[in-house]
Structure 1
Amino acid sequence: LADAINDGSNIDNSQVTITVDDGSIFQPGHIILIESEQMWVSSVSSNVLTVATRPYSGSAATHADDTTVTIVGIARLEGDDSDAVAFTDRTVGSNYTQIFHQEIKVSRTQNQVSQYGIPEEFEYQSNKAVPQLMRLVEKQMYLGARKAGSATTPRAFGGLGTFVTDNTLDYGSAITQANLEDTMELAYNDGGSPSIALCSPANMQVIKNIYDATTFLRVERTEDTIGMVIQNVMTPFGELKLVMDRWAPANTVYLLDPERAGFVTYFPFTFEPLAKVGDYERGEVVGEFSLCVRMDKAHAALTT
């Protein structure tokens, strides 16, 4: 955990009270590091830290306002009384469910016509509906805008862009090995471990070409195939599986921890027959889904 000095001026090498931005993260006994000097916090009052005789370790020095204050440990006095610590209200992300629907309507005559490979038109159209709706669910995962809805406006679930907003890096005109790994580092530094990268076909090819030229490859030998399929990339911050998705946006590569992101099925796709009111058969396929993203800082996005 880290904060910053907020004294309005420098603190000199003998000052024992330090004002910080957020005192709620500190407690008596914390060992803090400011530049190369360690201090021991003896008490906390609001945003003011009182430290013991300086230094606790290192050399006492003058520190500028807004310098980072990092908690590096805790050391309590033997037999000391317990100290209350501040509580931080938990914030919870939210999303909405979204209803996906498609009607199937086939005339009586059309349904009776014998077609090669299609025994019954109504059944054929019903079977086509679910894959088509699944494609819309997938597109919503990338591009969805979160909407609460009303009596006249349908609710909609927010996509990945609604949640993955902290660890983003602009790659400019072209993805490079360096900025791919830099994006992984953003999530890693926040405690995340992304393991999949969702790539558009164009971005998949760019990343493949980056690693095609490297001398560090794990290759399976085949006798009748030329070229390499890059499926996993080893970075200093973990292994990343490349997943090509034709619906992934061309301007964003999402790096996700799949244990902390996924779909929620509120109501699975179901076929329901509708009342017959004319010379046709009619039914609907309907389902209700949402996207759940936990711990947004466990994920990252490479954007342009």
Structure 2
Amino acid sequence: MPFSGKATYSAGATLPEIAEDVSDLIAINSPHDTPLLDALGDAARPARSTVHEWLEDTLLPNESTVDDASIANPATETTFGVADVGVFRAGDLVRNGDSEEIMLVTAVNTGAATITVTRAYGGTTVGTIVDDRVLRIVGNAALEGADADSARFTARSRKVNYTQIFSATVEVSGSELAVRQIGVADELEYQKAQRTRELIRDLENSVINGVAPASDPQGTSTVRRSMRGLLSFISTHVFEPGVDGFPADTTLTEEQLNLALRTIWNSSAGTIDLIVVGGTQKRAINQFVASSRRFTPASDSFKDMVST
């Protein structure tokens, strides 16, 4: 006999008499909104001004390239043009590209932008000198008792950035605060927390992609003060596929990443401990080690769970 009494579905498909089963926990679905800020950590000290200045200095370069298309005999040429003659001094030991050959610089002609070298110094195997070949200075060998060379130095440069005001408005009516909310104990505090998360997300984006106004960067009554991001400060080591010997792959490859890291290290000898990429590049980097990834059991011990 079919049931004829009142059931949960008796009032219709919308179940108007039944209280909704709504969880009182509203989850935060994006715990990694600001990975760069999380990696950098909190600032050592708070900003005390709307403008921040610092000094940067560089080491003298220790490499240049051959700039001479008229080389007749690459294996025996001893005088040739270079792209930056100011890098070299008499007495420099120079490695010829990726070959084993070490050359001794015996003369530098700044007017003609050429250097004269002794090839295969110290019995090293001779290489070839061709246009665009990289020349790396191993070190300078000074003569005992010789006069000091002319002093060489770099000039420090002053860098500047400005603070940016991030703001969001929160407004909740008294009635909204008075009523009981589903999943929220205090609507005002909840709205403040959500807007704060959005401001931190905007700060992360500005740290990377921010751009300062072309004029009046300090801000005026009509010019909004905005901060420069990391990308706007990068002027060297910008790699483009297929340009200047960089691999032409249109998707990130391990060869491209290794070449970029090696080029940066050769220029600075600094430790690279953080790579900032988007989701697509992160997945590509993960695949570099996918073939060598191994999984082991969580436990190496087993026991009989069946009793007799």
Separation (CA, whole Å) in 2 of partners of 1:15 and 1:207: 43
- Report SS of the residue matched to 2:272: coil
Once the two structures are superposed, residues 267-303 of structure 1 have per-residue CA deviations (whole angstroms, 9 ceiling, x without a partner) of: xxxxxxxxxxxxxxxxxxxxxxxxxxxxxxxxxxxxx
Separation (CA, whole Å) in 1 of partners of 2:259 and 2:131: 29
Once the two structures are superposed, residues 59-102 of structure 1 have per-residue CA deviations (whole angstroms, 9 ceiling, x without a partner) of: 99995565544322211111111111333333455433221111
1:1-304 map, 5 Å? 1-6=62-67, 9-10=70-71, 19-34=81-96, 36=101, 38-41=103-106, 45=110, 48=113, 51=116, 56-57=121-122, 63=129, 67-91=133-157, 93-147=159-213, 148=217, 150-151=219-220, 152-164=222-234, 166-170=237-241, 172-190=249-267, 191-212=269-290, 214=291, 216-219=292-295, 221-222=297-298
TM-score by length of 2: 0.55
AA paired with 1:184? L
AA paired with 1:174? T
Bigger RCO of structures 1 and 2 (CA < 8 A, at least 6 apart): 1
- Report SS of the residue matched to 2:264: helix
Unaligned runs of 5+ in 1: 224-304
Structure with greater strand percent: 1
- Cα gap change, 1:166/1:93 in structure 2, threshold over 3 Å: closer, same or farther? farther
Q: Report the alpha carbon displacement of residue 140 of structure 1 after superposing the two structures with TM.
A: 2.2
AA paired with 1:4? T
Once the two structures are superposed, residues 190-234 of structure 1 have per-residue CA deviations (whole angstroms, 9 ceiling, x without a partner) of: 33443333444444444445533x1x22545348xxxxxxxxxxx
RMSD after superposition: 3.9
Once the two structures are superposed, residues 146-190 of structure 1 have per-residue CA deviations (whole angstroms, 9 ceiling, x without a partner) of: 433642232322334324451435474434444343443333333
- Cα gap change, 1:115/1:139 in structure 2, threshold over 3 Å: closer, same or farther? same
AA paired with 1:195? D
Q: Report the alpha carbon displacement of residue 19 of structure 1 after superposing the two structures with TM.
A: 4.9
Q: In 1, are the aligned partners of 2:77 and 2:129 still within 8 Å (CA)?
A: no
Q: Report % sequence identity.
A: 25
Moved more, 60-69 or 177-186: 60-69
- Report SS of the residue matched to 2:261: helix
Unaligned runs of 5+ in 2: 1-61, 242-247, 300-308
Residue equivalent to 1:238: none
Q: In 2, are the aligned partners of 1:27 and 1:85 still within 8 Å (CA)?
A: no
- Cα gap change, 1:161/1:8 in structure 2, threshold over 3 Å: closer, same or farther? same
